[in-house]
Every structure is written in C-alpha cells, then in structure tokens.
Amino acid sequence: MVDPNRPSMCLSAPRARRTTSSSVALLCFVAGLGLACGTPSPAETESEGDPTGASTGATETAGTATATTTDGSAATSSTATEGSSSGSTGTSSATTTGGESTGASMSDTAITEGTTGATTGTTSAGTTGGDTDGDTDTDTGTGGVDVLPSEGCGLEGAPVGLQKGLTTKVQGVDRSYDVYVSDPYDADQPHAVIFSYHGVGGTANTNQFRLDKNSDANDGFSINVAPQGWPSQEWDKNHFVPFNLEASVTVFDQVLGDLAANYCVDLNRVFVVGHSNGGQMAFHLGCLRGDKIRAILPSGGRCFSYGAGICDPYNGGNNQQCSGSVSVMSVMGEDDVTRHADEEATLAGYRSRQGCGASTEPVDPSPCLRFQGCNPGEEVATCRIPGLAHALWKDGHDAIYDVMMSY
C-alpha cells in the first residue's frame, strides 16, 4: 500500500544502526492480465554455479506446518521446455530460458561471496522497532511514510524464532516457506516484512542476506520470509521463474496475508530481496505487486524478453502489466558480465515507468548510483560491485539492510 506521492527518501543515507538487545513461457501469467508471450533467444540459456559446479536440489520441509491459507485457483499453462544448468551437471533441452542457477544452496557457507567493502552513511531517525508503550505505532516511519499496521497488531502468542517448513496451499499443492521472527517480539509494534528468494537449486534461507542477524541487532525490525522454490515439468531444478511464476506470486500474496493477520506488520514496509533466479523474482514482484511492496533489492538479477507483459526489458517499459510504485536498488558484480545487458535493460524499463532520467548521483551504500528525476517514492539505483562475479555481496549485507530501515 505504497503512496505514489510519498516524498523521495529511501535511497539516501540510512539511519544509524542500533545494536540493542533485542518465461515462450512466462506461464502467460494470470489470464486476467492478458499477456502476450514471446520466445527468448537461444543465447539466453546459461549456467550459473559455484566454483565447483556443485548442485543441490533438496527442499527443506522440516518442522510442523502451522500456517494455512486459501487455495489459489488460477490455472497455468506452459508450452515450452527449458534447459537448466548448474555447474557442470546441468542439461539443456530447449532455447527458452529465464531461470538463473546458482548451483548451490543459498546459505552463507555454500555460496561464493564477494569481499568488496561497503561504505554507509548514517543519519538519525525515529525508532522502528521495540516500542514498549503498549500502543500500536501509527506514526510516520523512518522514511517519512506513515506506518500502516496490519490486523494482527495487538494479538499475543504468535510464534517467534525460526519456523521451518510452514506451508500454504496453491493450486492444490502445499508450498513451503520459512519465517523468522526475532525474540522478543512486540505485538504492538508494526514490523517490516522482508521476502528473500534463493537461486535455482537452492533452498529457503531467511538469513541468506544476514537478515535474521540484522533484525536481532535492530530490535526485531523485520519479520523475514524465505519461500522455497519448486521444480516443474519444464525444469527440474528448484526455481521461482519463469515456469513457476504464477504459483510463486500466489505464495507471496497468501503468506503476506497470513503474516498480516497473525503478526503486527507494517504494510507500508514490505521488501523483496533475492539472488540470481531469486533476484529475477524480486524484479517480477516489483512489477506485479508494486502496490504492496515498498522496495525491491535484487542481487545478480534481471528480466528477459518473454514478450510484452511482465518485467520485459525489450518491448517497451510502459507496455508492462505493472501496478503501484516501488523503489529499486539492483546489486550486480562488475564481473557478472553476461547479465549486465539484461539488467541494464530491466532497469531502463523501471526508469521509463517511474520518471527517471539517465543521469546518476552517488547514494549510500557506495558504490551505488541513483538515477535522477525519478517520481517520489519510485527511486531507481544501480550498484556495480568491483571484483564481484555472480555471487552475493557479502560485505554489503548490513548496508542493504540499512537501506531498508531508512524507508
């Protein structure tokens, strides 16, 4: 529920951190959107993996499911098959593509990560977590936009800590996700929600971007969600897009709704991060759910040309089925050269829809650049990290979290 007229803020210096205790186939997505599907070129088929090419496909489903939601009813269709590759083990069976493979589970220890440092500025701002006055906070948040408390505010007894293997039913299938809630949890304080998406072949990990540790260090600022990707008939590696896009968006909707009903959530501060295929999912959600998401911060992500419709960088930025307003900060390694053109075209689509010019200015964290002239609340920034290939920007995790806290 982001106000398109809200003042520009977020991609400026973040507030001082506190350390207190506490796809031919895009699935022709949703018939009502009326998309036209195109065919990507063979050049888009690619391989992404860790240095050893090790692939994992294990789905984490441990734990007891405690969350249930309504069933998504929209049918899907797909007419193309797609090859996937993960290190040296992948196979290619078609020319269409769109998924991105990491070749490894997205844990902090299972993916190669860059070591380039991040520089952040600090500003003072109001508190965002841990109010103890017993009242639900509806004042203006740190970024100048009103807090929008969910219906779950004031409800006591919600589970805290890491909850693994929760499920939500989509098209008759139980889809798995993990949730992390810092302890102690304040049921009267609206919390941000951060969705984190892994890459192809990975598994759900709420701490993929050090989100859990940062929430703990900042009075439980965020409730962190990590959906689990799934294989499909077209692609046997765990993924979110292109072939699972419709189901993946439905999972987002249902999980956010469930959290809002059971936890005290700030519906004006929903964020999406993700790496590789997960970064691609973040870009898609920024288009399809810009009315629900405050900002997307993809890592190593981009969109492909599936035909005019969703997050399509090559058929005109204003021809997309996008809604709402969303800020964008895209992180990509300077050495991740095979993805540069698609990422730049993806950002160009966002820029054209959101009033941004071509000129840039420095913005925290360094070395990020913000495009000038964007509509208020629809800032677009790019972060090219020296010495980084297709990997998580490890040294930037805290700085990226600071950006989200600054909204």
Q: What is the DSSP string of 57-89?
A: -PPP--S------PPB---------B-B--TTS
Measured between alpha carbons, how far is 203 from 364 in angstroms, rounded to an integer?
A: 30
Whether residue 18 is contained in a domain is answered as no
Residue 359, domain CATH = 3.40.50.1820
Paired residues of 274 in beta bridges: 197, 298
Query: Which runs of consecutive H residues, i.e. helices, occur in 231-362?
Result: 245-262, 277-288, 340-353
Domain count, the chain: 1
Whether residue 300 is contained in a domain is answered as yes
Per-residue pLDDT at 324: 84
Domain coverage including residue 269: 106-405
Contact 119, 365 (CB under 8 A): yes
Closest to 128 in 3D by CA, of 145, 150, 104, 110: 145
Q: Which helix (H) or strand (E) holds 353?
A: helix 340-353
Whether residue 165 is contained in a domain is answered as yes
Write the pLDDT tens digit of every residue in 105-151. 333 333 333 334 444 433 333 334 433 344 444 455 555 689 999 99
Return mean pLDDT, the chain: 73
Whether residue 81 is contained in a domain is answered as no
Measured between alpha carbons, how far is 26 from 39 in angstroms, rounded to an integer?
A: 10
Segments of the chain scoring below 50 in pLDDT: 1-138
Whether residue 372 is contained in a domain is answered as yes
Per-residue pLDDT at 24: 32
Per-residue pLDDT at 322: 82
Instruction: Check residue 7 and report its DSSP letter.
Output: P
Write the pLDDT tens digit of every residue in 194-248. 999 999 999 999 999 999 999 999 999 999 999 999 999 999 999 999 889 899 9
Phi, psi angle pair for 227, to nearest 5°:
-65, 150
Whether residue 353 is contained in a domain is answered as yes
Q: Kind of pairing, strands 295-299 and 327-333?
A: parallel
The residue type found at 159 is P
Which residues have C-beta within 8 Å of that of residue 219, sequence separation ≥ 6?
Answer: 18, 20, 22, 127, 128, 129, 130, 182
Q: Which residue has the tokens 């399509």?
A: 312
Whether residue 308 is contained in a domain is answered as yes
Whether residue 173 is contained in a domain is answered as yes
